[in-house]
């Protein structure tokens, strides 16, 4: 049994991660500022569900608040930290860029400092598939160089990876970055495509298809993503003895540092997702074609070979089953 801090505990991936850790018998401290980027009621409902576990302690706190974060690390001895708190969303970064610096940069620095001074054994943190930016070689591999982000959100996530490496190098803190690929499922975010598609189809409103629907995503079911998070938590990275500065591998280091993709390597075209939802709802979607949005990319596909070598077989829930489970939750939650 370990004591683990999970930031972003009221969020989609964070709340599921807390449940998984609690079910394995760990003591979990969940941290979240419960901001209003999307429906606060949904976040509060996730928190309420977490409170069913006696081994959970919830802290309503902002990771950007240096004093509060420092005080928490001084009061509680964490064996490991899973940092999932962030200002999410590619398009929102065009509207409110400073929110991304406060949460994703300042907040991450506070977590790194907390881990440094408290001697935390392993920091696992959320990066994003968005860091691949202008890269077009697919599947996207963590061994590719990434230096051309297409949004401020992506830039902050890439910065997190660089900051983590610096702390791993300077202070020997084992850090593992997770590049999540389009995670979906029950308790998912209202600003994500799956939720938007279902809501629009049931309401008879237009489904907005960017790039005229010619888009594919490596949709990753939430249970599969959390499985990877929890398995990697128990495998802190060690320095790579074969790493060389003459041909540096971005996914590893001479420091205790690693980066992995969390995806399926089985991308799905957006029109297929729409068709599955139409079958579940018994309603035909009203389609509206729009151009590609700033900061967006037409395709994502995750190379998961490194992940498989680290944790063994990576579970992949078929898209039909994943959407069915999401829709079942959506109907119950919105009843």
Catalytic residues: 153
How long, in residues, is the chain?
335
CA torsion 57→59→64→65, rounded to 10°? -120
DSSP class of residue 187 equals T
Residue 288, C-beta contacts closer than 8 angstroms, at least 6 positions apart: 206, 207, 208, 209
Element (DSSP H or E) covering residue 22: helix 12-23
Of the candidates 104, 118, 164, 110, the one whose C-alpha atom is nearest the C-alpha of residue 4 is: 118
CA distance 87 to 190: 14
Of the candidates 123, 125, 316, 164, the one whose C-alpha atom is nearest the C-alpha of residue 227 is: 316
CA distance 330 to 335: 8
Of the candidates 263, 259, 237, 262, the one whose C-alpha atom is nearest the C-alpha of residue 250 is: 259
φ, ψ at 329 (rounded to 5°): -65, -45
Other C-beta atoms closer than 10 Å to the C-beta of 309 total: 9
Other C-beta atoms closer than 10 Å to the C-beta of 313 total: 7
CA distance 109 to 21: 24
DSSP class of residue 131 equals G
Q: Decide if 35 contacts 113 (C-beta within 8 A).
A: no
Per DSSP, what are the bridge partners of residue 299?
216
């Amino acid at each position: 049994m370990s004591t683990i801090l999970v930031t972003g505990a009221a969020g989609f991936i964070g709340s599921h991660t807390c449940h998984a850790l609690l079910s394995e018998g760990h003591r979990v401290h969940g941290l979240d500022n419960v901001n209003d980027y999307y429906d606060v009621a949904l976040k509060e409902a996730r928190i309420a569900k977490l409170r069913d576990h006696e081994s959970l302690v919830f802290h309503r706190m902002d990771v950007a608040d240096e004093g509060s974060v420092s005080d928490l690390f001084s009061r509680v001895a964490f064996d490991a930290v899973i940092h999932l708190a962030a200002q999410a969303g590619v398009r929102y970064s065009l509207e409110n860029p400073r929110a991304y610096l406060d949460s994703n940069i300042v907040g991450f620095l506070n977590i790194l400092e907390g881990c440094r001074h408290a001697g935390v054994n392993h920091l696992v943190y959320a990066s994003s598939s968005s860091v691949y930016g202008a890269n077009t070689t697919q599947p996207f591999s963590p061994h590719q160089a990434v230096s051309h982000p297409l949004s401020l959100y992506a830039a902050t996530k890439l910065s997190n990876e660089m900051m983590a490496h610096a702390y791993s190098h300077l202070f020997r803190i084992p850090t593992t970055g997770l590049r999540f690929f389009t995670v979906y499922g029950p308790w998912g975010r209202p600003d994500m495509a799956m939720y938007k598609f279902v809501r629009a189809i049931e309401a008879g409103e237009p489904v907005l298809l960017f790039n005229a629907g010619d888009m594919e995503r490596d949709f990753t079911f939430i249970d599969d993503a959390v499985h990877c998070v929890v398995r990697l938590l128990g495998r802190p990275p060690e320095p790579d003895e074969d790493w060389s500065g003459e041909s540096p591998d971005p996914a590893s280091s001479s420091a205790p540092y690693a980066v992995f993709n969390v995806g399926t390597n089985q991308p799905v075209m957006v029109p297929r997702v729409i068709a599955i939802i139409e079958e579940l709802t018994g309603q035909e979607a009203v389609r509206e074609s729009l151009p590609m949005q700033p900061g967006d990319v037409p395709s994502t596909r995750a190379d998961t070979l490194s992940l498989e070598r680290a944790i063994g077989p990576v579970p992949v829930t078929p898209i039909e089953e994943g959407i069915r489970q999401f829709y079942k939750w959506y109907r119950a939650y919105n009843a």
